[in-house]
Amino acid sequence: MKRICMTGFDPVKSLGDETNPSYELIRSFPREFMGYEVLTFEVPTAFDRNRAAVSAIIEENRPDIFLGLGLSGSRFEITLENIGINFRDAGYMKDNDGQILHHQPIHADGADAYISPMPVSKVVARAQAEGIQMAESYYCGTYCCNQVLYNGLYHRAKRFPHMLAGFLHIPYFPEQVIGRKAAPSMPREKSLRALEILLEECVRQQQGAE
């Protein structure tokens, strides 16, 4: 059986969060989707442990589709990323291990950037047609989200050319922003439907290539 691997993050300590919607969204996702086995993983919001964890997930499971999910606490819409860059920089923000990195490559032997092979425009158009606030993004940041995306694309380029790899940013769930002024959020059901659309189109793209 073909395989989908999805990752979400643990709670971000510096934000004071108790849960992370990126993992909460996938933790109870069905174990089978359109004939693909589905495996989900919580990965650390910590640069070094995160890089090792994502690499191990891909190497050990050899997925046909690898999708990282992450929180974007400042975006009012779901965003599907186009590009991962070989650059990690935490700015002023510590990771969950208390580490602050500046101007470091993710993989020294990797390209400066990789473009996601996922059908980004098609997915966004379908989601918007269903009334879901979703957009393409050309900047995944330089924190752990971008590292997950780049790591997936790096392994695709180096070892698993058949694998689709990409990254989906989701906002907070409404219950997570109670008491936070002007914090963007989106109902869990909308984020879940956007995820389903993305996986549907990825499966169809792979089936069309066979």
Q: With 70 as the cut, is the pLDDT of residue 210 above it?
A: no
- pLDDT bin (cut points 50, 70, 90) of residue 180 is confident
User: In percent, how much of the chain has pLDDT > 70?
Assistant: 100
Strands 78-81 and 164-170: antiparallel
Task: Enumerate the H helices of the chain as residue ranges.
Answer: 21-26, 47-61, 120-129, 144-158, 188-209
Q: How does pLDDT run across 128-169, given as a tens digit for each residue?
A: 999 999 999 999 999 999 999 999 999 999 999 999 999 999
Q: Do 206 and 161 form a contact (C-beta atoms < 8 A)?
A: no
Q: What is the mean pLDDT of the chain?
A: 96
Between CA 25 and CA 100 the distance in angstroms is 28
Between CA 133 and CA 128 the distance in angstroms is 6
Average pLDDT over residues 117-137: 98
Which whole-number Å values give the CA distances from 210 to 2, 39, 152, in the listed order? 13, 23, 22
Q: With 90 as the cut, is the pLDDT of residue 46 above it?
A: yes
> Would the pTM of this model clear 0.85, i.e. be above it?
yes
Q: How does pLDDT run across 62-111, given as a tens digit for each residue?
A: 999 999 999 998 899 999 999 999 999 988 889 999 999 999 999 999 99
Between CA 4 and CA 181 the distance in angstroms is 37
- Greater confidence (178 vs 67) lies with 67
Between CA 32 and CA 24 the distance in angstroms is 18
Active site residues: 81, 145, 169
pLDDT at residue 115 in the model: 98
Name 48's Cβ contacts closer than 8 Å, sequence gap at least 6: 97, 99
Q: Does domain 3-209 have CATH number 3.40.630.20?
A: yes
Which whole-number Å values give the CA distances from 184 to 73, 97, 127, 131, 176, in the listed order? 7, 27, 19, 17, 10
Q: With 80 as the cut, is the pLDDT of residue 181 above it?
A: no
Q: Domain residue spans in the chain?
A: 3-209
